[in-house]
Structure 1
Amino acid sequence: MTAQQETLFERFLAPVFRTFLIDEAAIGRYAASIDWETACDRLQNPAVVYPDYYCNHNFHGIRGGYLTAGAAVTYDPITQYVLPPQETWVREGLVQAIEARPRRILDLGCGTGSTTLLLKQRFPAAEVIGLDLSPHMLVVATDKAHKAGLDIAFRHGDAAATGLLAQSVDVVTASLLFHETPPSVTQAILREAYRLLVPGGEIVILDGNQATLRQTEWLTQIFEEPFIQDYAEGNLDAWLGAAGFGAVRTQVHWWLNQVSRGVKPKDRPDWEAAETSRYDSDFENGSLPAFGTLA
């Protein structure tokens, strides 16, 4: 097996982060304050099967990828410096692109919940659900929501095969997810999002600017990102269209990123119509049947 070449972060930026930007002692104290086994067991869905791409690759140079406490506690401290000009401004681009007044929002690949919290703050009356494959990341997300006093349901699951009811959400979002998935998985996730959305529902995606990444190759070499070259060479608009979405558009967001939006057409196929009334009645009753499989 060919040895992994050191990333730009490992060669040049890691010493700067450790010396000037990251409080490693504080991160260590936070990690030590959590009973990870108990906390993960509380959130983990035993029915989830981890895809090979997720458990057999390192992400951001962390052995074991996101299925580790180390990834969970270091994600936020580092990410705040790698989404210029300011992380919240970048994430707000997704939130502001939502045109509907959603009653239920599903945030796929929510990670530590940074965008999920912004969604709940923007739409306080909506049910907001964050779904992620890593129970460790969900532990941090749950802690952040609790400290912020936000009522958010975090669930352990695979964005490509959620097992949730069709037509059960108004808006599906994904932040910084698709540059970390193989194109085939990206397309599977988009098809799943289409299935989950009500007719007229929106999907909104924040991720790296594919055009910028193609033109500026060194940007793909900053971190260990196994699938970022495939993402850069792809076309998210085309993937959205292939999944069935209409009114697809992508806008550049702070040069390094892009925000993409698509709408599930209201003239959906007849086979999808059967569960529509169930969504309406269950929502009015205040239940969350679509997520019962992940309880």
Structure 2
Amino acid sequence: MAVHQNPMWENFLSPMVRFLIDEEKWRRYADSIDWEKQSDRLRQPDVIIPSYYDSQNFHGVEGGYLNPQAAVSYDPITQYVLLPNETVVRQALIDAVKVQPRRILDLGCGTGSTTLMLKQAFPQAEVIGLDLSPYMLVRAEDKARRAGLDIRWRHGNAEKTNFRDGAFDLVTASLLFHEIPSVVCQAILRESFRLLVAGGQILVLDGNQKTLHQLDWLNDIFEEPYIREYAAGNLAANISAVGFAAVQTQDVWWVNQVNSGVKPISSTDVNAQKKVQQYNPISIDSTIDNNDLEDFGSPVFGITA
């Protein structure tokens, strides 16, 4: 597949961003890290990079997220293009959490901006950030270390994470779905449903599909090869289609949206929860080993360690 070229990015947005950011600062940061050595430490050899991911440019970076330049440039660019304010937009996902999460998985975590906020909001929870790019994970790990946050970073594909069924209370994805084909979105939603305990919640923060569809010219500004496909879809309907209930869409400053869904609780699940609550008090260990996450009851029952 040919790499998509975006003259709008080269002629308009890229020069504007270069004017706003301190390029020298970020160049020094890039030079301070041995990207290949650190990415090799995180890279999992069994992770197969899909063709939709390694055959496109993203955000004007040749090779997309499989280029360490993307890991360096993502944060300074995003702070200006995620309107009206990056922290405000990401906080909308945090505010939409309705469960009491003890295990959180952030899919397509990128440089970990939302992942860090999740850990800050739920400090007692085990938080895992998963991404296809080991370079993005190097940047995320460095940010977490500087913030003093204990977060697990995992190289992997959100379509097939290899975690156990029902391993998490909360699964999130921020600014991921507009960067992947719709068929991949659906596969990730199915995987999220499998990963959640009954009563667990999925939260997806991304661009507002109605706005992107109505203002098609916006899709020409950013080098996003799949954004039109995303804009033409209906994420709420897709979430419902894989089995989630109580699906909601919340507009965030007109240009973004947060979608939420809950994995339904069956009568069998309710009875199991009562037994767990009465006879099996749970303690949360501080380590995650070989993806072998312990089983937890549903967070909607408020079971605490």
TM-score by length of 2: 0.88
Paired AA for residue 92 in structure 1: Q
Once the two structures are TM-superposed, the CA of residue 285 in structure 1 deviates from its matched residue by 4.3
Q: Which runs of 4+ in 1 moved over 3 A?
A: 1-7, 280-287
- Distance apart, 1:172 and its partner CA: 0.2
2-structure distance, mates of 1:268, 1:175: 32
Residue 208 of structure 1 is matched in structure 2 by: 207
Query: CA, structure 1 residues 282+30, in 2 after alignment: closer, same or farther (shift >3 Å)?
Result: farther
Which amino acid counterpart does residue 240 of structure 1 have in structure 2?
A: I
Alignment match, 2:12: 12
1:100 and 2:103 equivalent?
A: no
Shift in Å at residue 84 of structure 1? 1.1
**Distance of 1:125 and 1:76 partners within structure 2:** 26
CA–CA separation in structure 1 for the residues paired with 2:285 and 2:249: 36
- 1:113 and 1:11, CA in 2 relative to 1: closer, same or farther beyond 3 A? same
Structure 1 pair 181/2, CA: closer, same or farther in 2 (3 Å)? closer
Q: How many residues align structurally?
A: 286
Q: 1:10: how far off?
A: 2.1
Q: Secondary structure at the match of 1:119?
A: helix
Matching of residue 288 in structure 1 with residue 288 in structure 2 = yes
Report the CA distance between 1:101 and its aligned residue.
1.2
Which residue identity lines up with residue 6 of structure 2 in the other structure? E
Alignment of 1:59-74 (within 5 A): 59-74=58-73
Q: 1:162 to 1:12 in 2, by over 3 A?
A: same
SS state at 1:112 partner: coil
CA shift, 1:2, in A, is 8.2
Matched with 2:300 is none
Name 1:199's counterpart in structure 2.
198
Q: How far off its partner does 1:60 sit?
A: 1.3
Structure 1 residue identity aligned to 2:27? G
AA of the residue aligned to 2:170: V
**TM-aligned CA deviation for residue 269 of structure 1:** 9.0
1-structure distance, mates of 2:203, 2:34: 34
Please name the residue that 1:183 is paired with.
Answer: 182
CA displacement at 1:291 relative to structure 2: 2.1
- Between the aligned partners of 1:166 and 1:3, the Cα distance in structure 2 is 37
Structure 1: distance between partners of 2:59 and 2:67: 12
SS in 1 for 2:81: coil
Secondary structure of 2:49's partner? Answer: coil
Point out where structure 1 has 5 or more consecutive residues left out of the alignment: none
Distance 1:233 1:269, change over 3 A: farther
Counterpart position of 1:115:
114
| 1:31 aligned residue | 30
Over 3 Å counting, the alpha-carbon distance change for 1:266 and 1:218 in structure 2 is same
AA of the residue aligned to 1:164: F
- The DSSP-based 3-state class of the residue aligned with 1:237 is helix
Q: Check conservation: 1:111, 1:134, Cα contact below 8 A.
A: yes
Deviations 1:202-228 (A, max 9, x none): 000100000000100111111111111
By how many angstroms is 1:14 displaced? 2.0
Which letter maps to 1:194? F
The 2-side partners of 1:245 and 1:100 are apart by 15
CA contact (8 A) 2:4 2:225 kept: no
What residue number does 1:54 align with? 53
1:113 touches 1:141 (CA, 8 Å); kept in 2?
A: yes
Q: Which blocks of at least 5 consecutive residues in structure 2 are unaligned?
A: 294-305
Q: Displacement of 1:62 after TM fit?
A: 1.2
**Offset of 1:282 from its aligned partner?**
8.5
Measured in 2, the distance between the counterparts of 1:292 and 1:36 equals 29
* Cα deviation digits, residues 73-102 of structure 1 (max 9, x gap): 000000000011110000000011001110
Counterparts of 1:109 and 1:39, CA distance in 2: 19
Identity of aligned residues (%): 59
Task: Tell me the distance in 2 between the aligned counterparts of 1:187 and 1:169.
Answer: 19
Q: Give the conservation status (yes or no) of the 8 Å contact 1:159–1:189.
A: yes
> CA 1:232–1:205 in structure 2 vs 1: closer, same or farther (change >3 Å)?
same
Over 3 Å counting, the alpha-carbon distance change for 1:162 and 1:281 in structure 2 is: farther
